[in-house]
Amino acid sequence: MSRLSEIARCPAAHKRSVGPHQFRRIGDYVLAVDDAGRFVFLSPSEYRDFLKGLKPDSPLREKLGHAGLLRDAFDFDDAAQCSAERGLLAWPGTSVHVIRLEKYGSRDVMDLGTARKVVDFVFTVPGPCVNLRLCAELTKQTWGLVWFIVQYARRKGEWHKRPVAFTWMGQSAPSVEQAEFLAAHKVDLRTEMWLSGKPKKGLVPMGVRRATALVQAPANQAAAWVDCLAEAGVESVLLATPPSDTGAFLEFYAAAIDRMLQLQGRLEIREERALGLLSGRRWLLPGHDLLSELCYAPDGGIYSSELALVMAGDGKDLLKLGQVGSTRYEDLAKSPAVRAVLAASLSENQPMCSQCAYRAFCAIPPSESLAAQGTLWGRHPSSERCSLHMAILDILFARLARTESAEALRAWMS
Share of the chain above pLDDT 90, in %: 62
pLDDT of 86 reads 86
- 372 burial via Cβ count (<10 Å: 0-12, 13-18, 19+): middle
Q: Give burial (CB, 10 Å; 0-12/13-18/19+) of 292.
A: buried
304: CB partners within 8 A, 6+ apart: 289, 290, 294, 295, 319, 321, 337, 338, 341, 366, 367
pTM of the complete model: 0.93
Residue 246 pLDDT > 90: no
| pLDDT at site 207 | 86
First to last CA, the chain: 28
- What pLDDT is attached to residue 8? 65
Across-strand partners of 293? 96, 289
Residue-wise over 199-230: b if at least 16 C-beta within 10 A, else e? beeeebbebbbbbbbbbebebebbbebbbbbb
> Residue 297: which pLDDT band, with cuts at 50, 70 and 90?
very high
State mean pLDDT over 308-326.
Answer: 90
State the average pLDDT for the chain.
90
Handedness of CA 215, 218, 223, 228 (dihedral sign): negative
Q: Does the CA dihedral 371-374-380-384 come out positive or negative? A: negative
Task: Between 385 and 300, name the one with better pLDDT.
Answer: 300
Q: Is the pLDDT of residue 172 over 80?
A: no
Residue 164 identity: V
Per-residue pLDDT band at 1 (split at 50, 70, 90): very low
Q: Which residue has the higher pLDDT, 68 or 307?
A: 307
Pairwise CA distance, residues 310 & 316, whole Å: 9
Lowest-pLDDT choice from 44-48, 92-96, 200-204, 253-257: 200-204
Under DSSP, is residue 45 helix (H, G, I), strand (E, B) or coil?
helix
Find, among 269, 362, 371, 369, the residue nearest to 314 by Cα. Answer: 371
Predicted pLDDT of residue 109: 92
| pLDDT per position as a tens digit, 82-118 | 888 888 888 999 999 999 999 887 778 999 999 999 9
Q: Report the pLDDT value the prediction gives residue 77, as an integer from 0 to 100.
A: 85
Amino acid in the structure at residue 402: R
pLDDT at 183: 92
Which residue has better confidence, 75 or 362?
362
pLDDT value at 6 more than 70:
no
Backbone angles phi, psi at 309, to 5 degrees: -70, -40
Query: Tens digits of per-residue pLDDT, 330-345?
Result: 999 888 999 999 999 8
Is 244's pLDDT higher than 70? no
Alpha helices in 264-365 (DSSP H): 272-279, 306-313, 336-345
Q: 92-414: what CATH class?
A: alpha beta
Pick the more confident residue, 308 or 170. Answer: 308
Integer Cα distance of 91 and 296 in angstroms = 21
> What is the bridge-based pairing of β-strands 320-323 and 301-303?
antiparallel
> How far apart, in whole angstroms, are the C-alpha atoms of residue 373 and residue 369?
5
8 Å CB contact between 4 and 356: yes
Reduced DSSP (H G I as helix, E B as strand, rest coil) percent helix, strand, coil of the chain, to 5: 45, 15, 35
Q: In this structure, how many other beta carbons lie within 10 angstroms of the beta carbon of residue 162?
A: 15
Residues listed for the chain: 414
Pairing verdict, β 270-271 and 320-323: unpaired
Q: Express each pLDDT in 298-308 by its tens digit.
A: 999 999 999 99
Q: What pLDDT band is residue 4 in, cutting at 50, 70 and 90?
A: low
User: What are the domain boundaries of the chain?
Assistant: 1-86, 92-414
Share of the chain above pLDDT 70, in %: 97
